[in-house]
Structure 1
Amino acid sequence: MKILLLEDEFMLARSIRTYLLSRGHLVDHYDNGQEVLEVIESQAHDFYILDINTPLIGGLECLKVIAEKYPDTPKIIISAYHDVDYISDAFSFGCSDYLKKPFNLKELDIRIHHLTVQAKPKIEQVNDPIIHLSNHYTFNKENYLLYHDGKVQQFTKREYSLIILFVSNLGQIMTDESIRSFIWDGEDTESSTIRSLVNRVRAKLKEDLIQNIRGFGYIMKRGDFV
């Protein structure tokens, strides 16, 4: 799944993101609500994890907007607040569950799984798991595999991670930093190493789906359809 995480505590956000990545999820992390409100205008996610007390715009305000735009998508509020008024507000604004800090990451995983199973029948009605990238290429969001004319394409684990990043952000420029953050979890990685990975994937593709935007990064667009 593609998960949006709003959390301004760096160490907690890093722990949550690392754990969810290990569980096979894609995680877009933001440390302030203003960025979240900008992102949701153009991107949909499969799950939202929102802290209440965040800079610029708080999680509850983000929750109201997200719930209106994506009412059937699961949303968890996480907070150190134990006041019943905060909990009441969270549920009245559309949250699916409320998790008090500190919490065990396994508990978060259990709640994500439970809410996803509950929401799946509704989401499946509007979300096709197959993304058509061109007449020949499709990507399956359920097994995270790329197909060419119905045949699974062979890539290394890291190459597939790059493809997942691009497919999850179709039409958006991926900078070296965004690739470094997703593939290497923010570790210091040379731009030449990132460029080499992108070039290997492009060389294996039978169509020019990934383009180099000089001075900015890379972008994946859907190919031509006839």
Structure 2
Amino acid sequence: MRLLLCEDEIELSNALVAILKHNNYSVDAVYDGQEALEYLEAENYDGVILDIMMPKVDGITVLKTIRKKGNNIPVILLTAKSEINDKVLGLDCGADDYLTKPFATKELLARIRSMTRRQTEITNTVLSFANITLDRANFELKSDKGSFRLANKEFQMLEMLMTNPKQLISTERFMEKIWGYDSEAEINVVWVYISYLRKKLSAISDKVQIKATRNMGYSLEEK
């Protein structure tokens, strides 16, 4: 699951990124509201943690802007302010939740789980293709021949493929969506994870394959 963290306090941002990555979230961090809007234009995120008091464009304006554009991505607002009017304003502008600094790490993680769970409930919990299924709730890949619990990045890649069956997804798109714009990972990491998924698919299904199209990308196909 990929999150965008919009927090201008560098030390806090770095700490939150480390905590979120430790809990198997993929994270991009930005430090002002204008940058947040630019990143959100790509629509590559499952949720946003958005500080209200940010330079260039404040968090409330960021929230209003994306909601006006029809972007319903889940948003948790962060702020040092604790007045009830700020909470009401944020929620009225389309925030899904609100957290006042300072906050406990466990509470933030619980709020993220709740926020993304609600989003998952809106979409199909279980994806199906040919004779395989992928349960978004527990990362389980399954067929009548067996099952695997996928690692986080394996799950995200297969989710992309199963959400867009028979459609080419470029290596660059996988990198952008799962590893993030600022990742130091080499692009061949995509091939490595495709290899992991192919082995697991071949173990439980003789009807599904991940097809490579040279210099273009990968697609999920029926054999």
Same fold (TM over 0.5): yes
CA deviation after TM superposition for structure 1 residue 63, in Å: 2.0
CA deviation after TM superposition for structure 1 residue 67, in Å: 4.7
Corresponding position of 2:124: 128
CA deviation after TM superposition for structure 1 residue 95, in Å: 1.9
Distance 1:177 1:191, change over 3 A: farther
Q: Deviations over 1:150-197 (max 9, x none)?
A: 631476xxxx33312313545462239954x69xx95x66666x3673
Structure 1 runs of 4+ with >6 Å offset: none
CA deviation after TM superposition for structure 1 residue 99, in Å: 1.9
- The reply to whether residue 164 of structure 1 matches residue 155 of structure 2 is yes
- Does structure 2 retain, via aligned residues, the 8 Å contact 1:52–1:58? yes
CA distance in 1, matches of 2:28, 2:65: 18
Greater RCO, 1 or 2 (C-alpha within 8 Å, sep 6+): 2
Query: Which 5+ residue runs of structure 2 have no aligned equivalent?
Result: 162-168, 203-207
RMSD: 4.1
Corresponding position of 1:223: 221
Corresponding position of 1:29: 28
CA distance in 1, matches of 2:12, 2:134: 32
Corresponding position of 2:42: 39
Q: Equivalences for 1:147-162 in 2 at 5 Å?
A: 147-149=142-144, 151-153=146-148, 160-162=151-153
Aligned pairs, how many?
203
- TM-score (norm. length: structure 2): 0.65
- Does structure 2 retain, via aligned residues, the 8 Å contact 1:33–1:58? no
Q: Equivalent residue of 2:124, what SS?
A: coil
- Does structure 1 retain, via aligned residues, the 8 Å contact 2:211–2:220? no
CA deviation after TM superposition for structure 1 residue 143, in Å: 0.8
